[in-house]
Amino acid sequence: MQDKEEEMTKMESEFVNTNKNITKEVMEQYEVIRTSGVCNMFDYYCVIRTAAMLDYHELVALDITDYIYLLSNFGSLMKLYGVNQ
């Protein structure tokens, strides 16, 4: 059991963002919307609409594929960019 935990910790520390569209600014913008509670974060269209109203151009520029990548790697991206949850 401990070996699996160590392996997961090692994998998280070695995370490399392979999507050039997901930047620290995108993650900060995403976090503002997430913590506001305005949207279900699985609702891409609500998030993008809210981002547009807030003039979060970097977040609005994400297509659905980028957004799925963000959702799939949320924790690792937040740690990578040092964005507080």
* Residue 75 C-alpha from the chain's centroid: 7
pLDDT, one tens digit per residue, over 18-48 is 999 999 999 999 999 999 999 999 999 999 9
pLDDT, one tens digit per residue, over 49-80 is 999 999 999 999 999 999 999 999 999 999 99
* Separation of alpha carbons 80 and 50, rounded Å: 25
* Separation of alpha carbons 54 and 65, rounded Å: 22
**Taking 90 as the threshold, does the pLDDT of residue 4 lie above it?**
no
**Taking 80 as the threshold, does the pLDDT of residue 13 lie above it?**
no
> Token pair of 25, please?
């600014």
**Taking 70 as the threshold, does the pLDDT of residue 81 lie above it?**
yes
